[in-house]
Structure 1
Amino acid sequence: MKAIVSIENLASQLVTTFWTPVFVGIFIAIVAYALWPRNKTGFDAAARMPLRED
């Protein structure tokens, strides 16, 4: 059977081989930033912001 090379196959391979690991890395960086102990005070202040009465 002859393999058919098309734009869809090429795009699918590009997404699978390149962009998936990139987005996984970005996701891990965001989670690490959110859970980093140094950022706790800022996130706690932002969480209380809707409850403040100015």
Structure 2
Amino acid sequence: MNWVIIWKVVFVALLSAFGLMSVLVMVRGAADIRKLLAALKDEADQADAETSKSDLN
């Protein structure tokens, strides 16, 4: 086995690992962003409910 083949194998392996990590970060990051937006929406809904209750009094 010569050095060119070894470096090609290393390059392909590292490129594949980088691609896999990118996909995992993208998927998990999207899930975290969805959770964040849902929490913000719930917080805004609670604030609106409290505001409308105080307006009635």
Task: Name the TM-score, length of structure 1 as normaliser.
Answer: 0.48
Looking at secondary structure, tell me which structure has more helix per residue.
2
Larger radius of gyration: 2
Task: Name the TM-score, length of structure 2 as normaliser.
Answer: 0.47
